[in-house]
Amino acid sequence: MKDYKALTQQYEIDVYPRRDVVLVKGKDARLWDDNGKEYIDLAAGISVANIGHSNEKVVDAISKQAATLITCANTFYNDTKALFLEKLFSVAPANLTRAFLTNSGTEAVEAAIKFARAVTKKTKFIATMKGFHGRTYGALSATYKKEYRDIFEPLVPGFSFAPYNNFEKLSELVDDGTAGIILEPVQGEGGINIGQKEYFQKVRKLCDEKNILLIIDEIQTGFCRTGKMFAIEHLGIEADMMTLAKSIAGGFPMGALLCSDKIQIEKGKHGSTFGGNPLACAAGIASIDFMLENKLWEQAEAKGKYFREKLEQHTLSKMRELRQIGLMIGIELKDKSHPVIIELLEKGIVTLPAGTTVLRLLPPLVISYEDLDTAIEKLVEVLK
Ligand SMILES: *Cc1c(COP(=O)(O)O)cnc(C)c1O
């Protein structure tokens, strides 16, 4: 057997903090490593595999599309893309009417920033402290964490940051040059910080008054994760643009920027070679169909509630606070999360960090109650 770790270490730019496991297979909420060890997945590849790993519908759709047409230049129409767009807008908020399709989340954010500048003819943006929007220059400029930014500066000018859920501080940053405000409905990377309805409603009103575009980043919260198809449904507001990616196509790389009618861009001003390619679109149709057929948002809601109630029956000395919305769960610890993550991995449970002290759980929404019980049992062993 080849030494996969050594090969990766030899040839891949070493930007990722690495777990000492080679994953080779997945099915629903289970993963397997190259020694045949089985894991319960509470990460879903960072909220990507919401419909489970290697979902049968997606596997079939990709296989059929691959045998038919893999690639198609965006200068041509394509049947699968048309059907994907129809499917996407059957579940999207009603005021969002058209999309720009991408291959990743950061590209969707990048498009939002470019479009906001083009439409408003203004250049400044407000984002939030602890917010995360991606790694390319525009999206990185909207991302708060110093360690992601420092060696790449200078970034795109005009970005400023307000504390999350603090309307006063945000409104102080607004001026005549503000083109857009970008917010996550729940901060994911930033530690599972849940957005307050009143805050978002005030921001929406401010945006209307000042001709500012409100960009809602649903890349992590989107597609049933928080107990609704999109987390914005909890907030009772409309976005001018909404970014999607991660779970949009059952694990196949894809992203989308959804736009309201305010967003009008001239032909030829933006584009992508692979964005909205037939394979991604086929996977996306299958993925959204699966969510609808299984009312996956209801499953996320019920399972999240179940998880919270079960975990709260125990006294966990290492836990400071539990934050949960649907199956988007943050366990704030009194100490660093890294040793806990490693201990859980040894016990066959895959989890994620969010910052240094938060244990982040984003399981596939199809996870069985039996697997949830096992995961809770192991969490209690490690956190008690
Ligand atoms: C993951 C993520 C992104 C970036 O998506 P990529 O596909 O990694 O570029 C942007 N915003 C949020 C909220 C995310 O969780």
Q: Which of 338, 354, 287 is nearest to 49 (CA)?
A: 287
Q: Which atom of ligand 1 is nearest to the CA of 245?
A: 7
Dihedral of alpha carbons 94, 260, 155, 245, sign: positive
Please spell the DSSP secondary structure of 206-225, one letter per residue.
Answer: HHHHHT-EEEEE-TTTTTTT
Does the Cβ of 178 fall within 6 Å of ligand 1? no
Q: How far is the CA of 109 from the centre of ligand 1 (A)?
A: 8
Q: Encode pLDDT of 137-154 as tens digits.
A: 999 999 999 999 999 999
Are both 134 and 231 inside the same structural domain?
Answer: yes
Q: In the structure encoding, which two tokens stand for residue 101, read together?
A: 């399709």
Task: Determine the 3-state secondary structure of 322 from DSSP.
Answer: strand
To test the ligand 1 pocket, which listed residue (246, 257, 272, 362) has its Cβ within 8 A of the most ligand atoms? 246
Look at phi and psi of residue 124 and say left if phi exceeds 0, alpha if psi is from -120 to 50, else beta. beta
Does the Cβ of 134 fall within 6 Å of ligand 1? yes
Quick check: 112 and 180 in contact, CB under 8 A? yes
The number of CA neighbours under 13 Å toward the Cβ of 346 is: 7
Does the Cβ of 276 fall within 6 Å of ligand 1? no
Quick check: 96 and 259 in contact, CB under 8 A? yes
Q: Which atom of ligand 1 is nearest to the CA of 255?
A: 7
Quick check: 257 and 180 in contact, CB under 8 A? no
Element (H, E) at 67: helix 56-68
Are both 35 and 142 inside the same structural domain?
Answer: no
Q: How far is the CA of 104 from the centre of ligand 1 (A)?
A: 7
Are both 81 and 174 inside the same structural domain?
Answer: yes
Decide which of 293, 318, 344 is a domain's last residue: 293
The number of CA neighbours under 13 Å toward the Cβ of 311 is: 27
> Which structural domain range is residue 21 located in?
4-54+296-383
Does the Cβ of 188 fall within 6 Å of ligand 1? yes
CA 226 to chain CA centroid, Å, is 11
Q: Whose CA is nearest to atom 11 of ligand 1?
A: 133
> Looking at the predicted structure, is the pLDDT value of residue 209 above 90?
yes
pTM of the model: 0.98
Q: What is the mean pLDDT of residues 162-179?
A: 98
Strand partners, 329: 324, 361
Q: Whose CA is nearest to atom 5 of ligand 1?
A: 105
Q: How far is the CA of 189 from the centre of ligand 1 (A)?
A: 9
Are both 91 and 239 inside the same structural domain?
Answer: yes
pLDDT-above-70 percentage for the chain: 100
Burial of 47: CB neighbours in 10 Å, binned 0-12, 13-18, 19+: buried
Q: Encode pLDDT of 249-291 as tens digits.
A: 999 999 999 999 999 999 999 999 999 999 999 999 999 999 9
**Max CA distance (Å), the chain:** 63
Are both 74 and 47 inside the same structural domain?
Answer: no
Q: Which atom of ligand 1 is nearest to the CA of 107?
A: 9
Q: What is the mean pLDDT of residues 89-118?
A: 98
d(CA 381, CA 17): 25
Please report which confidence band the pLDDT of residue 1 belongs to, taking 50, 70 and 90 as the band edges.
confident
d(CA 85, CA 81): 6
Q: Which atom of ligand 1 is nearest to the CA of 184?
A: 13
Does the Cβ of 217 fall within 6 Å of ligand 1? yes
Are both 270 and 356 inside the same structural domain?
Answer: no
Quick check: 112 and 142 in contact, CB under 8 A? no
For residue 374, what pLDDT is reported?
98
Are both 263 and 212 inside the same structural domain?
Answer: yes
Domain count, the chain: 2
Decide which of 258, 293, 328 is a domain's last residue: 293
Q: Encode pLDDT of 298-338 as tens digits.
A: 999 999 999 999 999 999 999 999 999 999 999 999 999 99
Please report which confidence band the pLDDT of residue 102 belongs to, taking 50, 70 and 90 as the band edges.
very high
Q: What is the DSSP letter of 2?
A: -
Does the Cβ of 104 fall within 6 Å of ligand 1? yes
Does the Cβ of 127 fall within 6 Å of ligand 1? no
Decide which of 264, 293, 322 is a domain's last residue: 293
Q: Encode pLDDT of 40-59 as tens digits.
A: 999 999 999 999 999 999 99
Does the Cβ of 263 fall within 6 Å of ligand 1? no
CATH of the domain at 30: 3.90.1150.10
Q: What angle do CA 285, 262, 289 make, to 5 degrees?
A: 10
Gyration radius (Cα) of the chain, Å: 21
